[in-house]
Amino acid sequence: MTGSRRKTRINMNALTQYIDLYDSARQAIHASGGDPLNSMRDGCRRILGMDGAGLPTKHTEGFEKTSIEDMFAPDYGVNVNRIGIPVDIAATFRCDVPNLSTLQATVVNDKFIPSAGLDDKLPSGIRFMSLAHASKEMPDVVSRYYGSAATLGDESVALNTMMVQDGVFIHIPRGVRSDKALQLVNIFSSPTPLAAFRRVLIVAEEDSELKLLVCDHTQDRTQSYLASQVIEIIAGRNACLEMCMIEESSQLTSRYSRMFVKQEQGSNVTINNTTLTCGTSRNDFDVELAGEHCECHLSGMAIGSGHMHIDNDTSVFHRAPRCKSNQLFKYVLDEESDGAFEGSITVTPSAPYTEAYQSNRNILASGSARMHCKPQLIINNDEVKCSHGATTGQIDEDALFYMRSRGISEEEGRRMLMQAFMIDVIDTVRIPGLQDRLRHLVDRRFSGSLGNCETCRTI
């Protein structure tokens, strides 16, 4: 399964093993995708091979609490030869949470697998398919958008672009709206430690509308996994897109997810990211409001326990007049878990009449939990309304005392207060039925009854 990795270089870093693997397995990697994917690989290989190239460490600005170098350093296997790995996909959906009616596909490790009859159920013109197949079947469309939002000069993006062999392509044509939400389920399952390079390309053309639910799961929780994920979202003029991501992986799973959003005039994008369980998770969100009257809403919640590490970083760039953005992130950290949030709003001289707000609020439920927060505003325009704020505290002891005086146990009272703390993040979700699901999942997470792969039963 794993390609040859000749570790003979003097100056070793985490990139070395993947550069060597690409050089030795270049033919197999190129065979998996079409020209749009392959045309960028060698250029990214040159970027990664330059003197001084390396993944961020804790000495890199913006990564003080999460070393991407350490995350990628272990010798994971990479399935470059596309060997079939048996996986019980049905096992992921044995749960009792409220159902959603969605149009579903699955990515097993890094291979796209559509549900039965998916193409026939999709509204006319919508494509929800393998990125590798799309790059061969419709190369002109993929070429137009692939790599157009992501920063290819960034080492982590270049690594993903060099190594990716499959992923997801979602294309919503002009004026098309889907009544049902699309659902993507990412599953890790392997008999050996495995790294998966996943790529998601979402194109919502002018006046189109898309709702997307993405769920991350680890099926074999005794195995170590690494996910490198790059998501590109292009929202055309007056397009409306809502995306909700739920991470429920294992303590041995590491994930580095990069999301790049480019919005054109009048578009509206809502992103919600929920981390219920994980090992080490770093999520970067880079949003560019490139046209007038754009709106972007970024929100997230993280529930930490054990030794979980959850790091979210946001960068919102206002480049056009009369745009609005809002960020809301909340953490509840217990036991020895730790979290980080760094968020920035940049308003350029070309973006007067901007409205931009950012809020990060956190609860430390134990004396051993740790939280790092760093909100930032970079304002280069006088005609703006902008604010940011961050707070970190503990459970409200007065409220807890009041609840105990009414016969509620301390444990139940703490759980109720933590659930209530997350409500306004859950309320940002607009996908039908998903608010109820998230409330149910958060309740089970705080009560300790959330098990393996509990989120994705569909009809």
Sign (positive or negative) of CA dihedral 429, 432, 434, 440: positive
Query: How many structural domains is the chain composed of?
Result: 1
How much is the pLDDT for 408? 80
- What's the CA gap between 305 and 285, in Å, rounded? 24
- What's the CA gap between 446 and 54, in Å, rounded? 38
How much is the pLDDT for 9? 39
If you average pLDDT over residues 224-244, what whole number do you get?
98
Is 69 contained in some domain? no
| Residue in this structure with the two tokens 């549900």, named with its chain if needed | 115
The pLDDT tens digits of the residues spanning 191-209 come to 999 999 999 999 999 999 9
- Closest to 164 measured CA to CA, from 4, 27, 32: 32
- Domain of residue 331: give its range: 87-447
Is 43 contained in some domain? no
How much is the pLDDT for 8? 36
The pLDDT tens digits of the residues spanning 314-370 come to 999 999 999 999 999 999 999 999 999 999 999 999 999 999 999 999 999 999 999
The pLDDT tens digits of the residues spanning 38-86 come to 999 999 999 999 988 999 999 999 999 999 999 999 999 999 998 887 7
Share of the chain above pLDDT 90, in %: 78
Is 212 contained in some domain? yes
- Closest to 99 measured CA to CA, from 449, 448, 432, 452: 432
Most confident of 97-101, 109-113, 403-407, 443-447: 109-113
Is 269 contained in some domain? yes
The pLDDT tens digits of the residues spanning 397-431 come to 777 777 778 878 878 888 888 899 999 999 999 88
Is 355 contained in some domain? yes
Strand (E) or helix (H) holding 47:
helix 41-49
Provide the H-helix boundaries in 150-291.
155-163
Is 145 contained in some domain? yes
Local confidence band at 13 (pLDDT 50, 70, 90 cut-offs): confident
- What's the CA gap between 224 and 226, in Å, rounded? 7
| Residue in this structure with the two tokens 């639910």, named with its chain if needed | 213
How much is the pLDDT for 97? 42
Local confidence band at 4 (pLDDT 50, 70, 90 cut-offs): very low
Local confidence band at 95 (pLDDT 50, 70, 90 cut-offs): very low
How much is the pLDDT for 459? 31
How much is the pLDDT for 52? 87
Task: Check whether 172 has a pLDDT greater than 70.
Answer: yes
**Which of the two residues, 187 and 4, has the higher pLDDT score?**
187
Is 457 contained in some domain? no
Q: Classify 332 in phi/psi space as left (phi over 0), alpha (psi -120 to 50) or beta.
A: beta
How much is the pLDDT for 451? 58
How much is the pLDDT for 89? 65
pTM of the model: 0.93
Write down the mean pLDDT value for the chain. 90
Is 335 contained in some domain? yes
How much is the pLDDT for 91? 59
